[in-house]
Structure 1
């Protein structure tokens, strides 16, 4: 066996693990520091929610695929509405803690033009994710992203991208990334992310 072949397997494995690292750790809090690095124009409040001023927001990449129920969903089709994207896994304790709050706010704000879309990741089968949705009476669809590809490639570098599980990203009515939290949220903190966008004209 050649030396290069001997090291190829471990190197590939290390690369895959490094790419997945930010998505496999279940995070329960944020230190309140600005993310993204460099001149990103992100503003972080004391609750760890980062926002971008309206004129400086960027659109996400393609966020489309099959839902847990087997339907096709493209987030771009929701332009004109405020969209709350929640990255979650059924195996994640903080995700279970915030689920009831997301279900409540989704029901409360549906009539105001706010749509919720989950991105279910790192669940090896749909069964456990569907059971999670049933247990917490989740009223909105989730894209099935078992390998984290939507999360890794759906948010351009330099934007408020998800960096852990759970993460929540809110898109404004123009379909641009306006706010992000890397911590589990209750209904009050979630509303604080959404309400300023509802007030925008």
Structure 2
């Protein structure tokens, strides 16, 4: 391989790496096509009208603490699903807000569930959970297979972090493709919780 070919190849690898690293930060717009029936507000939160919502896929499996969890078990409650990784800086920034809001809404018809992804072992995920005071269940999804269960053209999680709000009927109502603080999280949660 010539020196020029190596430089071109290394440049392509560097660009690809840089693009993939930016996924752990502000949201993107990729995925799906056609009429998705959702609207993205100026705060980065996409919502779907009640009549256009689709059911969330199966989000079940082992948790980072060796138990099992299934989001479908929480039907009848509003479920906040946060996709995160211990290696993700924005995930660390938002974790305290998720812990705070989950505690404030405990017993008020809201259930939080985390999905830990791309951590090679549960050790760092468990340490993350302890460090940030997270007490709700966290599914362990090291290969990202749970994220891939969402159909294109729906409010699917596309980045880490991503957050979804699932309504009482098990349908995806809102999505954010960026780190959230407590104010942004409540902007997603409160309208869905107010639905009858």
User: TM-score, normalising length from structure 1?
Assistant: 0.84
Pair 1:35–1:188, CA change in 2 (3 A): farther
Q: Which residue of 2 aligns with 1:166?
A: 161
**Runs of 5+ consecutive residues of structure 2 not aligned to the other structure:** 1-15
- Contact 1:170/1:193 (<8 A) preserved: yes
Inter-partner Cα distance in structure 1 for 2:173 and 2:89: 26
Instruction: Give the deviation of 1:44 after TM superposition.
Output: 1.0
Shift of 1:37: 2.9
2:54–2:172 CA contact under 8 A, matched in 1? yes
Secondary structure of the structure 2 residue equivalent to 1:110: coil
CA-to-aligned-CA distance 1:105-149 (integer Å, 9 cap, x gap): 000111211100000000000000000000001011100000000
Residue of structure 2 in register with 1:4 after alignment: none
Say whether residues 1:182 and 2:177 are aligned partners: yes
Do the aligned partners of 1:23 and 1:164 also contact (CA within 8 Å) in 2? Answer: no
CA RMSD of aligned residues (A): 1.9
1:74 aligned residue (63, 70, 74):
70
Contact kept in structure 2, 1:29 and 1:183, CA below 8 Å: yes
- For residues 34 and 25 of structure 1, the distance between their equivalents in structure 2, rounded to whole angstroms, comes to 13
Partner of 1:116: helix, strand, or coil? strand
Write the distance in 1 (CA, Å) between the matches of 2:121 and 2:22. Answer: 19
